[in-house]
């Protein structure tokens, strides 16, 4: 299993998309789309949502069932769309 302390940040302007190809070598029968100890989404540096693999939210980015999935041949195409609901459920970022 991959282990590391890598942090990846992606900026995504409103109404834009990010496409990332991931080889599912690390796929899981547990329905995880990627292995990570957590994921944090920030909205305009004002609000944030954090997910852990153990979180049961149907909007959890770490879970395959949170994506729109389409299989074409041997390729699984996944799409996650941020909704107004995500922003509304996000917590205000506390200033240090």
Q: What is the pLDDT of residues 39-56, one digit of tens each?
A: 899 998 899 999 998 999
pLDDT at 2: 44
Instruction: Please report whether residue 30 resides in a domain.
Output: yes
pLDDT at 58: 92
Question: Does residue 43 lie in a domain region?
Answer: yes
Domain, as residue range, for 83 = 24-92
Residue 44, phi-psi category: left (phi > 0), alpha (psi -120 to 50), beta (remainder): left
pLDDT at 64: 86
Q: Is 49 exposed, middle or buried (0-12, 13-18, 19+ CB in 10 A)?
A: buried
Tens digit of pLDDT for each residue in 54-89? 999 999 988 888 888 888 887 778 888 888 999 999
Residue 69 lies in a domain: yes
Report yes or no on 73 lying in a domain. Answer: yes
Judged against a pLDDT cut of 50, whether residue 1 lies above it is answered with no
Contact 57, 50 (CB under 8 A): no
Q: Of residues 13 and 31, which shows the higher confidence score?
A: 13
22 — pLDDT class (breaks 50, 70, 90): low
The reply to whether 4 falls in a domain is: no
Q: What is the mean pLDDT of residues 31-36?
A: 69
Q: How far apart are CA 48 and CA 90, in angstroms?
A: 5
User: Does residue 13 form part of some domain?
Assistant: no
The pTM assigned to this predicted structure is 0.71
Instruction: Assess if residue 39 is contained within a domain.
Output: yes
Position 50 in a domain: yes
Into how many domains does the chain fold?
1
Q: How far apart are CA 24 and CA 16, in angstroms?
A: 24
């Amino acid at each position: 299993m991959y282990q590391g302390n890598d942090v990846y940040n992606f900026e995504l302007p409103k109404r834009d998309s990010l496409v990332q190809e991931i080889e599912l070598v690390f796929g899981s029968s547990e329905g995880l789309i990627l292995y990570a100890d957590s994921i944090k989404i920030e909205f305009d540096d004002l609000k944030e949502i954090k997910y852990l693999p153990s979180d049961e939210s149907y909007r959890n980015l770490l879970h395959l069932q949170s994506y729109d999935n389409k299989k074409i041949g041997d390729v699984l195409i996944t799409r996650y769309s941020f909704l107004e609901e995500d922003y509304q459920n996000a917590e205000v970022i506390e200033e240090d």
